Amino acid sequence: TKKQAPCSKDTICLTQIVLFLSCQDCTICMEALAGPSGYKGPGVGGISRAESVGRLAQCGHQYHLQCLVAMYNNGNKDGSLQCPTCKTIYGVKTGNQPPGKMEYHVIPHSLPGHPDCKTIRIIYNIPPGIQGPEHPNPGKPFTARGFPRHCYLPDSEKGRKVLRLLLVAWDRRLIFSVGTSSTTGESDTVIWNEVHHKTEFGSNLTGHGYPDPGHLDNVLEELKAQGITEEECLP
């Protein structure tokens, strides 16, 4: 029989791990990580104790594996999982934006509040269509109001960064969604998703215009909440 090696700095003692786990709770179900998941649902039975705790690779936060699976299944199943403790996003989040076109070009005029640069104009065009399985009412038509929608960014370094990330958001179908418009109350229609755009050029009648000194930073935060950052998008 082999003699067991003593605990050293290179190997963590098993009793230490057990003690560590037993005093930590899974913050999804609020039960101890050392015990079973507090989530009693179908589909994830029969996993052994050794496989029952998952450690998220990037942030290191730990949960019952069954709780992570339940959280994913109870969400919108968009291909991503967000750590409920620190909000780190795993996987690539995608949306349900219908097919369409995104174009942009530079126009030789300055936006209020950005006198030293030209302006990027983005043109989104989405035609009406039929809802897919990823939409609220599959098989039912959806309308598309106010297209083409024109949006404006300063053609500055930060404005161009926002544009690069918006192009990624478009590819991931995160700029628009299908649902009920909070402005008009119309249901089954194309609506802006969680990323704010400026749709007025020289005026600010709707509140979606310039000047707005915080706009670019706000959009960068909103893109981050969708899992889109420059660090993540660079090769």
* Residues at the interface with Zn ion (CB under 5 A): 26, 28-29, 37, 59, 61, 64, 67, 83, 85-86, 88
Q: Is 137 in the site for ligand NAD (CB under 6 A)?
A: no
Provide DSSP, 36-56: --S---SS--S--GGGSEEE-
Is the Cβ of residue 54 or residue 128 nearer to ligand NAD in the bound state? Answer: 128
Q: Which is nearer to ligand NAD, 24 or 125 (CB)?
A: 125
Residue closer to Zn ion, measured from CB, 54 or 136? 54
**Closest separation in Å from C-beta 193 to ligand NAD:** 8
Looking from the CA of 106 toward its CB, the CA atoms found within 13 Å total 9
- Examine residue 208 and tell whether it contacts ligand NAD (CB under 6 A): yes
Residue 145 binds ligand NAD, judged by CB under 6 A: yes
Distances from the Cα of 187 to the Cαs of 41, 46, 125, 175, 191, in angstroms? 33, 43, 19, 18, 10
Residue 182 within binding range of ligand NAD, rule CB under 6 A? yes
Q: Does 118 bind ligand NAD (CB under 6 A)?
A: no
CA distance to 114, 167, 171, 192, 198, per residue, from 126 (Å): 29, 15, 14, 12, 18
Of 193, 186, 211, 192, whose CA–CA distance to 201 is shortest? 211
Chain residues binding ligand NAD by CB under 6 A are 145-146, 149, 181-184, 191-192, 196-197, 199, 206, 208
